Amino acid sequence: MLTEQRQQVLTILYPLYKEEVARRREQMIWLTAFGSLGLITLLGSFMLSPQKDLLTSIETFFLGLASVTWCGLICALILQQQSRHRLAKQLLIQLEQILGWYETGLFVENQALYPEGWKTAWLNDRTGLLYFTTLGSLTALFLLALFFS
């Protein structure tokens, strides 16, 4: 059983890590939105430009390279946040286990405070795939417009 002092430390740490998990997820969402906005702006600017038919092959290459670089940069930043999000989530679950929130009967008779599935639910999180698919699709759309217009 936890001593009262350790219990207090854990109850102070828990909200901090809970906030960290939420903040990392929010940062991934904002990075995706920012990256998408940049790619949409690039696509719109290109499509509305009267000079788009006058681009040389080297200019076309560098515009394509710029869009792929932008996408890669944003994806790398999202991967970094995703890694930190997972570490914080793992520690949060450890804190929940130590605090006994998955133990049956500790808080509610014949029931755990948190369902057992919450310990591993984060392993099935596919939001990262959504972020990367969005950015990759917008980059591919720009490249298609660039090379086939």
For 70-92, the pLDDT digits (tens) are 999 999 999 999 999 999 999 99
| Residue 147 token pair | 């090379």
| Residue in the structure block whose two tokens are 């950015």 | 135
| Residue 89 token pair | 């989530």
Q: How far is CA 142 from the centre of its chain?
A: 23
**Band of residue 113 on the pLDDT scale cut at 50, 70, 90:** confident
Residue of 7, 17, 28 whose CA lies nearest to 90: 17
Please name the residues in contact with 24: beta carbons below 8 A apart, sequence gap of 6 or more.
81, 82, 84, 85, 88
Q: For residues 5 and 142, give the distance between their C-alpha atoms in angstroms, rounded to a whole number.
A: 57
**Band of residue 1 on the pLDDT scale cut at 50, 70, 90:** low
Q: Is the model's pTM score more than 0.85?
A: yes
- Give yes or no for residue 67 having a pLDDT over 90: yes
Q: What is the predicted pLDDT for the residue at 33? A: 98
What's the whole-number average pLDDT of the chain?
94
CB 8 within 8 A of CB 76: no
Section 8-30 average pLDDT: 94
